[in-house]
Amino acid sequence: MSERDVGEGETSGLQLYTKILIGMVVGSVLALVAKQWLVGPAALFADQAALLEFGARWIEPLGKLFIRAIILTVVPLVFTSIATGMHSLGDPRDLGRLGGRTILIFMATAFAGACLATGLYLVFEPGAAISPETRDLLAAQFSDEAASKTAAADQAREYFSGSPLQILVGLVPENIMLSMSSNRDLLKVILFALAFGISLTLIPKQRSAPVAAVLEGVNEAMIKLIGLLMKLAPYGVAALVFMVVAKFGADVLLALALYAGVVLIALAAHLLLVLSPLLRLVAGWKPLEFLKAMREVWITAFSTSSSAATLPTTIRVAEEQLEVPRPIAGFVLPLGATINMDGTTIYQVIAVHFVAQVWGIPLDATAYLTLILVAMLMAIGAAGVPGGVIPLLYVVMVTVGIPEAIVGTGIALILGMDRILDMCRSAINVVGDSTTAVIVATLERKRLSEPR
């Protein structure tokens, strides 16, 4: 399912991503104009507090409506995406060497990308561009939630502290329905979805097929719903960005530009430091020649922002230009379009660090590990629609302990920059898929050429 089918749906006029960017600019400009010329003894608003009170009554609710509408899709989308993704792998007993090797490469490159993204964020720290005064205002905004901030620093430890057996006990829900009813307990839902999807592959196909069909139907409905809800994004973003800039000033916008730069640097670094060495050392490809051979693939992914929409092109180019045997291309690349999302993982890691730093939420080493692992899991369930990663980003933020009161505004703040970042991370996703296909093909050739 391509993004153009369900997300934008606009054959004329401005595209959705352009409208979102315009909404961000309009919200920012209106807030700066209001702060400069509409606040004062003889102006429309007597003081800053009056402006913010007006915004809280008549502007901010539009943004909250958009965020709540997106959040309501989280649990069904996450559960059905991961369960159907696991079911699509087929019988785990039949995956064998080829499947195990492919998934291992997928997970290794995603983990390396997430670690690289964490390191680059800690080096550049774009959230630090916000002035101390603005940071104090941000802290004061949620001063009445001190307990939530304290709990935020400890929440990740609930999952990854204690002995391995204690961790396992903490991850197994006593009642999955209760876990599904709380957005704070989504890691248990994720793990249950993984187990449920694998279990479906282990029962007779005639019994699992109806269940899988229902899950796929719910998943498609959620994807369609997100596409419809994203039509509210320009207005929601304008409203929430207006409030952020009205409260905290223009330096928030500078930090946002730096954040986008760090995401782009991390994606380029992943290509140069992770994927390129694998291509050269394992598959014997020169990285530039490889990118030239598959330029049709990554250009298509960049323009459509969808690994799924690019899949037919990816398979054809892998067979014709990269000399990947058809059985390997037919297995590795569809699997990669479902679960191998290095670019999406990198994006989520940096986005969560940015929101946490802007609002002064402490993340320690345990939270870093939690963030990396959950971002990798969430990338598996990323929907191929504009903004499809946003509900998953909500899950990641809540899981690492960012208070829910902050998450909505934080997501709205970064959403205006999402389209260009989405295009770039989609290109990295398909390069990662093709890299894995070439590596697996090379290893299979070596195995078959070994004397027996």
The structural domain count of the chain equals 1
Please say if the pLDDT value at position 387 is more than 70.
Answer: no
Structure tokens at 196: 């449920």
The per-residue pLDDT for range 49-76, each reduced to its tens digit, is: 889 899 989 998 988 888 788 778 878 8
> In a 3-state reduction of DSSP, which class is residue 387?
coil
Structure tokens at 70: 């997106």
Q: 212 Cβ partners below 8 Å, 6+ apart?
A: 84, 87, 200
> In a 3-state reduction of DSSP, which class is residue 358?
helix
Please say if the pLDDT value at position 205 is more than 80.
Answer: yes
Distance CA 424, CA 422 (A): 5
Q: Is 186 in contact with 407 (CB distance < 8 Å)?
A: no
| End-to-end Cα separation, the chain, in angstroms | 44
Domain that holds residue 355: 3-449
Q: Tell me the one-letter amino acid at 117.
A: A
* pTM given for the model: 0.70
**Percentage of the chain exceeding pLDDT 70:** 80
User: What CATH number does residue 322 fall under?
Assistant: 1.10.3860
> In a 3-state reduction of DSSP, which class is residue 39?
strand
At 137, the pLDDT band (50, 70, 90 cuts) reads low
The per-residue pLDDT for range 283-333, each reduced to its tens digit, is: 889 999 999 999 888 887 886 667 766 777 888 889 889 988 888 887 788
At 215, the pLDDT band (50, 70, 90 cuts) reads very high
Distance CA 74, CA 85 (A): 16
Q: When comparing pLDDT for 214 and 13, which is higher?
A: 214
Distance CA 203, CA 82 (A): 18
**Most confident among 106-110, 129-133, 157-161, 162-166 (mean pLDDT):** 106-110
Q: Is 394 in contact with 278 (CB distance < 8 Å)?
A: no
- pLDDT computed for residue 163 by the predictor: 58
Please say if the pLDDT value at position 19 is more than 60.
Answer: yes
- What's the DSSP call for residue 45? B
Distance CA 320, CA 184 (A): 47
* E strand or H helix that includes residue 265: helix 251-270
Distance CA 189, CA 173 (A): 8
User: What is the residue whose two structure tokens read 């050269």?
Assistant: 280
